[in-house]
Chain A
Amino acid sequence: MLEQLLIFTRGGLILWTCKELGNALKGSPIDTLIRSCLLEERSGAASYNYDAPGAASYTLKWTFHNELGLVFVAVYQRILHLLYVDELLEMVKREFSEIYDPKRVEYFDFDETFRQLRKEAEARAEELRKVKPMGNDGRKQQVVKKGSGGFDGGNKKNKSDAKEADGDDGKGRKLENGHSNGNHNVVGEGNRGMGLANGKENARSNNGAFDVSKLQKLKSKGVKKTTDTSVVVSKGSKADPKKKVTKKNRVWDDSPKDAKLDFTDPVEENGNENIQVMAADQGESMMDKEEIISSDSEEDEEDEEVGKDSKPDAKKKGWFSSMFQSIAGKANLEKADLEPALKALKDRLMTKNVAEEIAEKLCESVAASLEGKKQASFTRISSTVQAAMEEALVRILTPRRSIDILRDVHAAREQRKPYVVVFVGVNGVGKSTNLAKVAYWLLQHKVSVMMAACDTFRSGAVEQLRTHARRLQIPIFEKGYEKDPAVVAKEAIQEATRNGSDVVLVDTAGRMQDNEPLMRALSKLIYLNNPDLVLFVGEALVGNDAVDQLSKFNQKLADLSTSPNPRLIDGILLTKFDTIDDKVGAALSMVYISGSPVMFVGCGQSYTDLKKLNVKAIIKTLLK
């Protein structure tokens, strides 16, 4: 059943609600929707899931009427998938826009219209269900497929498969870590849950075995080879697809676990062989791809040639009509009008190193906010789009939480406990260097700082930090290598409480986002110590990988955490900002994907080279 249907202005005044439905919503789904979805430039998505505190879970769907500035939101229980909601919203939008008058604030007479519309929509949905029992079967199959897709994605083993899964249920997964889209059947959900659970179990046991073997290798070879780690990692990831195939079979066969362990062990041992096989496989697929690409490009060329013939005429007309339109002001913007401008904008963003996925989503969101709006006279579409994009960018980059660390430090000092900052990130982005810069900055503001060397993995990491500590004249807490970093951090915090340090800066080992054992260790460190700030250190040089890094760090922290409300990344430290000239897109990608602000920007080699992000300058550069 439909729980609620609301019509409100963008200004926030509720114009009409359905009184018949009249169910009191638990929690505040509408406000949450607006705050965490519509205002975060995610309105391009299809639906939003809301979990109320009291076990109720709703799915919300919405549509905009941009010309009149109206928002229509429908709320329903997630377990019921209502097929007619989209249609109903469209009909309500059409009917309501006819009677809407900006000066009027009450629409009691709309009750009757709505009742009819709803009956109509329900009847049509019922008809569809009767006419197409075949369609339903198809759906079910799809759901099963989705389940398996989710299982692959959950494990993050095989990229190509994960991509397929993305295609299937991309939106649902993006919204909430693998929650269903609300359109799925209950049966489907059950299946999927099982799949996920199984998958996770397998992954855990696999990784256990993998970890042990790796440690043994390390021991046998001695710790001297630092490059060894990367080799092992790559081996692991390359051997994985094989493992995954067997896993998949087993999950659906329900055979005992022992069989799988028997199978994976030889894979580990004959890792080299596998690599060769895989390499060969990859080579072939690349060849195939190239062929496809080349044929594609040929087709494109042909298309272009065909297009060229017809283009000049169209352009001539287009120029005059666009001149006329820009003077007169076009009635309503349509999607087709916006497309060229949006495409140009997207390309421009991508040349500025914004991740493609982000640029795409942003453009969709801007299109959603502009569609149906009246264009002002004497403006071009491109400038309208640009203005809308600028507004959206300001909204994204403006920090949602306070980025005033000093104040938080003072608050923690009053409570007589140290303020703990954990630096996390992938290898070689400059965690230790920027940790030293932050320490220097804090020292300048008369805060006593202590470093904790929790990179017990890479050789030389502790020595590096010790050098920084000596130069800055601050205490360092270290316990050598081969210790559990979580325990080292815990002891460091205890030590800081004893000697009255205000801030503890915890350095961690760099880790790739796909390295499950290391991510698990990080999750443990964060869970055990509950730091005040989890700072993600990322390179400004990074392009498309920024999305992957941050989303996976966040997801791993959420998935691998044992506590019910896991800690996620609170802020971002952007390093190597002096090396990128005008390609500042990484800042946007990272902020958009994580929702957390850029707290510092590292821009040089010396201790003083730490800045705050200048939002205005970034936006100016992005849209230049």
Chain B
Amino acid sequence: MEGIEQWKTEAQQWLQQGIEYAHQIPPTQLYAAVAVLLFTTLLLLTIRLLKRTKSNTIVLSGLSGSGKTVLFYQLRDGSSHQGTVTSMEPNEGTFLLHSESAKQKGNIKPVHVVDVPGHSRLRPKLDEFLPQAAGIVFVVDALEFLPNLSAVTEYLYDILTKASVVKRKLPVLICCNKTDKVTAHTKEFIRKQLEKEIEKLRVSRSGVSDADIANDYTLGIPGEVFSFSQCINKVTIGEASGLTGEISQVEEFIRAHVK
């Protein structure tokens, strides 16, 4: 008990000294110090907020083998180098698009591009990047489209119904890759097939969702046939060929949403 009493008196003495010291300092100086403190915290907060709103991340997604990694290197270096194999980890990079860096306009904001592996075991990685994304490029293999139709649709449906996509109205570009090949499907055909499949999925998914909340939102307007124009976020369709470097539509999309 005595120890505590002693501590108490000591603490009071310290306090007294502190107050006396504060009294000695002119009040203007004190106010200035408080103001500086407030200003810096506010500044830090605003910087953080600004950073969050002005994201420059573009996410490349799509099934395994659709050509995301090639597209990534086409955007970065303008070449697919010596080819690619199935990715095991995401590719990330912040850079000026290759076509733009050649022009040297100056004052262009570099883009942060993330290539998320398409293997179904690695899909959860996508959730890590979506919250920072400014736009999504969904790459579809136009050559081997029909055999993979159901898998493609499922993945696209999952993306389009994710909370992080719907809430922030992330624009999505469905990019039909490998159009340099003769037997590749046209983008109109792919769009129609995808809409048809999503319509089917919508029916079956609405039945499942009560068991486990995998999808946060439902797509389209109930009672109407689904089309991409019903989405809250903007969904566009483009064509590209990663191998030959014909990727202008992807670049346009990126520039439209990262400024």
Contact = CB atoms under 8 A, between A and B. Distances in A.
Interface majority SS on A: helix, strand, loop or mixed? mixed
A96 to B, nearest CB: 15
Given A12-B117, A396-B121, A398-B124, A6 B85 contact: yes
B86 A11 contact: no
Nearest to B81: A105
Contacts of B115: 11
Contacts, number: 102
A367 B211 CA distance: 36
Contacts of B109: none
A472 interface: no
Interface string B215-226: 000000000000
Given A394-B124, A410-B200, A31 B87 contact: no
Given A13-B69, A407-B204, A395 B86 contact: no
Interface in A308-338: none
Interface string A433-447: 000000000000100
Given A16-B82, A398-B124, 14 more contacts: A10-B87, A11-B88, A11-B89, A11-B91, A12-B91, A12-B117, A13-B81, A13-B91, A14-B83, A39-B88, A40-B121, A401-B120, A406-B204, A407-B200
Interface in A1-41: 6, 8, 10-17, 30-31, 34-35, 38-40
Residue among B64, B69, B88 with max Cβ neighbours from chain A (10 Å): B88
A69 interface: yes
A12 B87 contact: yes
Nearest to A414: B200
B49 interface: no
Interface of B: 64-65, 69, 73, 77, 81-91, 115, 117, 119-124, 150-151, 154, 200-201, 203-205, 207-208, 211-212
A14 B82 contact: yes
Nearest to A40: B121
Contacts of B154: 402, 404
A404 B208 contact: yes
Given A12-B91, A31-B65, A407 B212 contact: no
A299 interface: no
Residue among B73, B82, B123, B208 with max Cβ neighbours from chain A (10 Å): B82
A8 B83 CA distance: 10
Nearest to B120: A400
Contact of B204 (A38, A106, A410): A410
Contacts of A399: 120
Interface of A: 6, 8, 10-17, 30-31, 34-35, 38-40, 69, 71, 105-106, 394-396, 398-402, 404, 406-407, 409-411, 445, 610-612, 614
Residue among A10, A12, A38, A71 with max Cβ neighbours from chain B (10 Å): A12
A402 to B, nearest CB: 6
B150 A35 contact: no
Given A17-B82, A410-B204, A612-B212, A12 B121 contact: no
B123 A398 contact: yes
A8 B154 CA distance: 30
Given A31-B65, A35-B64, A406-B207, A10 B119 contact: no
Contacts of A398: 120-121, 123-124
Given A395-B121, A399-B120, A30 B88 contact: no
Contact of A11 (B69, B200, B203): B69
A12 B82 contact: no
B115 to A, nearest CB: 7
B64 to A, nearest CB: 7
Contacts of A105: 73, 77, 81
Nearest to B77: A105
A8 B85 CA distance: 8
A360 to B, nearest CB: 21
Contacts of B207: 406, 445
Contacts of B82: 14-17, 106
Contacts of B84: 8, 12-14
Nearest to B91: A11
B91 A402 contact: no
B150 A402 contact: yes
Nearest to B88: A10
A38 B88 CA distance: 8
B121 A34 contact: no
Contact of A611 (B117, B151, B201, B211): B211
A14 B86 CA distance: 10
Q: Top 7 closest A-B pairs, CB basis?
A: A12-B87, A11-B91, A407-B204, A406-B204, A612-B212, A10-B89, A34-B86
B124 A34 contact: no
A399 B154 CA distance: 13
Residue among B85, B122, B212 with max Cβ neighbours from chain A (10 Å): B85
A407 B151 CA distance: 12
Contacts of B201: 404, 407
A6 B84 CA distance: 11
20 contacts: A8-B85, A10-B89, A11-B69, A11-B87, A11-B89, A12-B117, A13-B73, A15-B82, A38-B88, A39-B122, A40-B121, A105-B77, A398-B121, A401-B120, A402-B151, A404-B205, A404-B208, A407-B204, A409-B204, A411-B150
A30 B211 contact: no
B122 A395 contact: yes
A101 to B, nearest CB: 14
Contact of A39 (B121, B200, B203, B212): B121
Nearest to A19: B82
B88 A34 contact: yes
Contacts of A39: 86, 88, 119, 121-122
B109 to A, nearest CB: 21
Contacts of A407: 150, 200-201, 204-205
Contacts of A6: 85
Contacts of A12: 69, 84-88, 91, 117
A35 B117 CA distance: 11
B196 to A, nearest CB: 11
A404 B123 CA distance: 17
A308 B108 CA distance: 65
Contacts of A11: 69, 87-91, 115
Contacts of B83: 14
Contacts of B203: 410
A11 B68 CA distance: 11
A532 B229 CA distance: 35
B63 to A, nearest CB: 12
A69 B84 CA distance: 15
A396 B211 CA distance: 22
B11 to A, nearest CB: 32
A322 B208 CA distance: 49
B211 A612 contact: yes
Residue among B151, B154, B208 with max Cβ neighbours from chain A (10 Å): B208
A396 B119 CA distance: 12
Nearest to A407: B204
Contacts of B208: 404, 406, 612
Nearest to B87: A12
Contacts of A614: 212
A31 B89 CA distance: 14
B189 to A, nearest CB: 20
Contacts of B124: 394-395, 398
Nearest to A398: B121
A43 to B, nearest CB: 10
Contacts of B151: 402
B201 to A, nearest CB: 6
Nearest to B82: A14
Nearest to B212: A612
